[in-house]
């Protein structure tokens, strides 16, 4: 079964709904120690994955993704998102140039202002880079409900292709205002922290999956968490991070098959 695709509202381009985060999981500087990440990236592409999210904030992750993708010969099949995370226009440009180099692209698919740091300055640069064809989409990110008011102001006032935000069974706040707003304004949504950094799976460890999980093609707790997110119509792509192939295979399975309806979503909520 192939991975479900979702359209980016600003262009209509379809991308797989199940992506890959790289915070911590891909922060490995020494090439000789990148075996697990190499296996994860190879399997991700084999299973139909394309969207990879990184940031200069994630230590060696951008370099690891770029090197491994080139080495595996999969760079062209990836849809790569990264971020700018600094203050000032010139440092922002320098950081973005370095990201392009590390991620081995002539251009990047998506560049986001990380945690809204110096957002107005970088949005100007991102617009110029988009006009010049060096990035295809621009956006902003945050990781916490404490940043949602600021995210909302930017979503209302700036033309954005993407917003990246935290949304999960443990952190559902975005569904109150931000997800409906993203739909209204035609902004694609990348979901970070979908497993609450693994805490959601820890909460249910050792418990038996309910028998009705099979009705929505779920064979694990992680898939229930990820499908609960993907069932929200505003969500474009969810980006769980892992450095383990069994977890990657588990997560990718959430990108295929049936999704929970409103009643099943409610039932999932009561389990966590």
Ligand X SMILES: NC(=O)c1ccc[n+]([C@@H]2O[C@H](COP(=O)([O-])OP(=O)(O)OC[C@H]3O[C@@H](n4cnc5c(N)ncnc54)[C@H](OP(=O)(O)O)[C@@H]3O)[C@@H](O)[C@H]2O)c1
Using CB under 6 A, list all residues that contact ligand X: 21-23, 25, 53, 114-115, 141-143, 164, 192-198, 201, 222, 239-244, 247, 250-251
Asked whether 239 and 252 are in contact (CB, 8 A), the reply is no
Instruction: Strands of the chain (E only): list them.
Output: 5-7, 14-16, 20-21, 51-53, 79-84, 108-113, 135-141, 162-166, 188-192, 237-238
Give the integer Cα–Cα distance in Å for 113 and 84. Answer: 5
CB nearer to ligand X: pick between 87 and 261: 87
Strand 135-141 relative to strand 14-16, pairing: unpaired
CB nearer to ligand X: pick between 125 and 242: 242
Distances (CA, A) of 266 to 26, 224, 231, 262: 34, 12, 11, 6
Give the integer Cα–Cα distance in Å for 44 and 195. Answer: 18
CB nearer to ligand X: pick between 8 and 116: 116
CB 250, min distance to ligand X, A = 4
CB nearer to ligand X: pick between 161 and 250: 250
CB 218, min distance to ligand X, A = 12
CB 17, min distance to ligand X, A = 15
Residue nearest to ligand X (CB): 21
CB nearer to ligand X: pick between 12 and 209: 209
CB 116, min distance to ligand X, A = 9
CB 141, min distance to ligand X, A = 3
Give the integer Cα–Cα distance in Å for 259 and 272. Answer: 18
């Amino acid at each position: 079964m192939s991975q479900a695709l979702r359209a980016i509202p600003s262009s209509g381009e379809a991308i797989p709904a199940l992506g890959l985060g790289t915070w911590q999981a891909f922060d490995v500087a020494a090439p000789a120690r990148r075996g697990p990440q190499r296996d994860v990236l190879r399997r991700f592409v084999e299973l139909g994955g394309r969207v990879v999210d990184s940031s200069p904030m994630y230590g060696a992750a951008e370099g690891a993704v770029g090197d491994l993708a080139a080495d595996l010969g999969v760079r062209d099949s990836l849809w790569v998102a990264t971020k700018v995370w600094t203050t000032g226009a010139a440092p922002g440009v320098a950081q973005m140039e370095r990201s392009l180099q590390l991620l081995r692209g002539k251009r990047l698919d998506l560049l986001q202002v990380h945690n809204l740091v110096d957002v107005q300055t970088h949005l100007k640069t991102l617009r110029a880079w988009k006009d010049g064809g060096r990035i295809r989409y621009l956006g902003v990110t945050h990781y916490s409900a404490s940043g949602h008011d600021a995210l909302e102001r930017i979503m209302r006032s700036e033309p954005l292709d993407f917003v990246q935000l935290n949304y999960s069974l443990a952190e559902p706040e975005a569904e109150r205002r931000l997800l409906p707003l993203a739909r209204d304004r035609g902004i694609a949504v990348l979901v970070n922290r979908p497993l609450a950094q693994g805490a959601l799976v820890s909460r249910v460890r050792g418990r038996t999956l309910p028998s009705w999980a099979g009705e929505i093609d779920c064979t694990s707790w992680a898939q229930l968490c990820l499908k609960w997110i993907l069932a929200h119509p505003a969500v474009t792509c969810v980006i769980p991070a892992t450095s383990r192939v069994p977890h990657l295979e588990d997560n990718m399975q959430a990108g295929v098959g049936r999704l929970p309806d409103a009643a099943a979503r409610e039932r999932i909520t009561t389990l966590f």
